[in-house]
Amino acid sequence: MINFISDDCYWVGADDHSTDLFEALWPLPKGISYNSYLVRGQKTALIDSVPAGFLPVLLDKINRVFKDKPVIDYLVINHMEPDHTASIDMLRSIFPEIKLIGNDRTKDLLKAYYDITDGIIIVNDGDTLDLGDRLLQFHHTPMVHWPETMMTFDPASRVLFSGDAFGGFGTVDEGLYDSEREEASTEDELFRYFSNIIGRYSAMVQKAIDRVKELNPRVIAPTHGSIWRTNPARIIDLYERWNSHTTDPGIVVAYASMYGTTQKAVEAVTGALSEKLVPVTVHNLAHSHLSYVLRDIWKYRGCIFAGPTYNTALFPTLDALLRLVENKLIPSRALGTISSYGWAGGASAHLKEFAKRNKWDLVEPEINFAGRADEATLENCCFLAENMIAKCFTEELS
Ligand code: FEO
């Protein structure tokens, strides 16, 4: 079957059901798609490509679009990450006439990753490429997700090839278009993709969103996940909300507990929160992947980190989470902390240093105890719950 996006524009991508972790990091319970598009005028452009192992799938789809021997004149490189470029060498062998379209940063990365220095056409922001009877227009959107990222717009059909932006996890074999993939397009999974992949440089992402709104696309065709054909405004609105860190009312609790003592304190807090009907999402870091925890921290206004001391430092799984949150530049949240130790502390200081470095708003009382959580500690946990509610639902963050 040939998938039409609009007149003489086709999806020629591939579904990946076998990779467990995207970027060797983010879980893919429903796989992922590598979306590539073929746009035909008098000349033909392939927009983005696929990992090398999926090239036969791409070529098979291209062959079905052409009645005769396929000719690809241009490969538009919206994004250089290898999930979209690792087949470039082979594509150049199969289509020796192909020219690579990218910007100055693309050129540097082509040299760095593939030692390619020839056959490159550099396009500046706003430049167009004439395919004969249709134009492609290029819009630079740096840091969404790498410095060379750009989007390609077909003004006649108003299809926007948006690169990683507006994409999602999950294969598209259950439906290529937004209207057909309700389950895979759930807000939680789209948010996980945004928070894991896209959202770090919010100012640059906002510039890209503003540009997209100016273009007013009829269709948004990203490099992963559903094509937004029925309701592109939905994903633009979601991106504006997530990127501005407009948080939901609720508290996410991420904890580690080696022998259950930290968990007992956590349960005292979550029990007190639940009694007040506060939405609480709890992640035991022995079970939850950081991908999902990161999404929920991005989502909610309040956050409680809890874990024991481990060789004078923070317990490794909680430490890894804090490093990831810091790396993703998540701005101020209301933060409650629970830490424990056996004979010498350490976790408490690390949690407070995290809050200070990232300008998160520490909520009193700090819970830090030796050994087990005694009655006084559990009572303090209830005070922490009350203060978290006050911070998250009635007070502005400092
Ligand atoms: Fe789909 Fe940033 O690569």
Tens of pLDDT, residue by residue over 232-272, are 999 999 999 999 999 998 999 999 999 999 999 999 999 99
The answer, yes or no, to whether residue 159 has pLDDT greater than 90, is yes
Ligand 1 mean position, distance from CA 392 (Å)? 34
pLDDT for position 183: 54
**Superfamily in which the 248-391 domain is placed by CATH:** Flavodoxin domain (3.40.50.360)
Ligand 1 mean position, distance from CA 117 (Å)? 22
| Model confidence band, residue 7 (pLDDT cutoffs 50, 70, 90) | confident
Tens of pLDDT, residue by residue over 198-222, are 999 999 999 999 999 999 999 999 9
Judge contact between 101 and 76, C-beta under 8 A: yes
pLDDT for position 184: 46
Tokens 């407009």 correspond to 246
Atom of ligand 1 nearest to the CA of 224: 1
Ligand 1 mean position, distance from CA 334 (Å)? 31
Judge contact between 200 and 328, C-beta under 8 A: yes
| Model confidence band, residue 228 (pLDDT cutoffs 50, 70, 90) | very high
Model's pTM, two decimal places?
Answer: 0.95
> Using CA atoms, how far apart are residues 388 and 365, in angstroms rounded to an integer?
10
Secondary structure of the chain in the HEC alphabet? CCEEEECCEEECCEEECCCCEECCCEECCCCEEECCEEEECCCEEEECCCCHHHHHHHHHHHHHHCCCCCCCCEEECCCCCHHHHCCHHHHHHHCCCCEEEECHHHHHHHHHHHCCCCCEEECCCCCEEECCCCEEEEEECCCCCCCCCEEEEECCCCEEEEECCCCCCECCCCCCEHHHCCCCCCHHHHHHHHHHHHCCCHHHHHHHHHHHHHHCCCEEEECCCCEECCCHHHHHHHHHHHHCCCCEEEEEEEECCCCCHHHHHHHHHHHHHHHCCCCEEEEECCCCCHHHHHHHHHHEEEEEEEEEEECCEECHHHHHHHHHHHHCCCCCCEEEEEEEECCCCCHHHHHHHHHHHHCCEECCCCEEEECCCCHHHHHHHHHHHHHHHHHHHCCCCC
The answer, yes or no, to whether residue 396 has pLDDT greater than 60, is no
Ligand 1 mean position, distance from CA 225 (Å)? 12
Mean pLDDT of 281-301: 97
pLDDT for position 332: 87
Atom of ligand 1 nearest to the CA of 223: 1
Atom of ligand 1 nearest to the CA of 146: 2
Which of 70-84, 98-112, 384-398 is least confident?
A: 384-398
pLDDT above 70 covers a percentage of the chain that reads 97
Question: Which of these, 58, 4, 5, 40, lies nearest to 220 by C-alpha position?
Answer: 5
pLDDT for position 270: 98
> Using CA atoms, how far apart are residues 105 and 358, in angstroms rounded to an integer?
30
Ligand 1 mean position, distance from CA 79 (Å)? 7
Mean pLDDT of 101-107: 98
Atom of ligand 1 nearest to the CA of 81: 3
Residue whose Cα lies nearest atom 3 of ligand 1: it is: 81
Half-sphere exposure of 58 (CA within 13 A, CB side): 27
Output b/e per residue, 91-109; b: 16+ Cβ within 10 A.
bbeebeebbbbbbebbbeb
> What are the structural domain ranges in the chain?
3-243, 248-391
pLDDT for position 67: 83
| Model confidence band, residue 186 (pLDDT cutoffs 50, 70, 90) | confident
Ligand 1 mean position, distance from CA 80 (Å)? 8
Ligand 1 mean position, distance from CA 145 (Å)? 7
Neighbours of 383 (CB within 10 A): 15
Mean pLDDT of 304-320: 97
The answer, yes or no, to whether residue 397 has pLDDT greater than 80, is no
Mean pLDDT of 65-76: 94
Atom of ligand 1 nearest to the CA of 34: 1
Give yes or no on whether 3-243 and 248-391 have one common fold.
no
Tens of pLDDT, residue by residue over 341-358, are 999 999 999 999 999 999
Atom of ligand 1 nearest to the CA of 145: 2
Ligand 1 mean position, distance from CA 301 (Å)? 28
Phi, psi dihedral angles at 92 (to 5 degrees): -70, -30
Mean pLDDT of the chain: 95
Q: Using a CB cutoff of 8 Å and minimum separation of 24, what contacts does 15-18 make?
A: 15/171, 15/172, 15/173, 16/51, 16/54, 16/171, 17/171
Ligand 1 mean position, distance from CA 149 (Å)? 9
pLDDT for position 45: 98
Residues with CB under 6 A from ligand 1: 79, 81, 83-84, 145, 164, 223-224
Contacts of 252 (CB under 8 A, 6+ apart): 280, 281, 282, 283, 293, 296, 297, 299, 300, 302, 303, 304
Mean pLDDT of 66-92: 97
The answer, yes or no, to whether residue 398 has pLDDT greater than 60, is no
Atom of ligand 1 nearest to the CA of 149: 2
pLDDT for position 199: 93
Ligand 1 mean position, distance from CA 223 (Å)? 7
Half-sphere exposure of 386 (CA within 13 A, CB side): 7
Atom of ligand 1 nearest to the CA of 163: 1
Which of 1-10, 77-86, 161-170, 260-269 is least confident?
A: 1-10
Q: Which CATH class name applies to 3-243?
A: alpha beta
